[in-house]
Amino acid sequence: MSKITLVIGNKNYSSWSLRAWLTLKQAGVDFSEITIFLDTPTTHQDIRRYSPTGGIPVLLDGDLTVWDSLAICEYAADKFAKWLWPEDMEARAIARSISAEMHSGFPQLRQNMPMDCHSRYPGEGRKPEVEAEIDRIQTICHQCREKYGANGDFLFGHFTIVDAMFAPVVSRFITYGVKLDSVAQHYVNSILVLPAMQEWLAAAAEEGDSVRSLIF
CATH code assigned at 133 = 1.20.1050.10
The pLDDT score that the predictor gives to residue 207 is: 87
Give residue 1's identity as a one-letter amino acid code. Answer: M
The pLDDT score that the predictor gives to residue 2 is: 65
216 within a domain of the structure (yes/no): no
* Residue stretches of the chain with pLDDT short of 50: 210, 212-216
The whole domain housing 56 covers: 4-82
Among 36, 65, 82, the domain-final residue is 82
The pLDDT score that the predictor gives to residue 39 is: 84
Nearest 5°: CA angle at 82, between 78 and 83?
Answer: 155
The pLDDT score that the predictor gives to residue 212 is: 43
206 within a domain of the structure (yes/no): no
Residues 65 and 134 in one domain: no
Residues 26 and 64 in one domain: yes
Residues 65 and 92 in one domain: no
Among 82, 97, 122, the domain-final residue is 82
Q: How many CB atoms lie within 10 A of CB 42?
A: 10
Q: Residues with Cβ < 8 Å from 152, sequence gap 6 or more?
A: 158, 159
CATH number at residue 16: 3.40.30.10
Residues 90 and 77 in one domain: no
Query: The whole model's pTM is what?
Result: 0.94
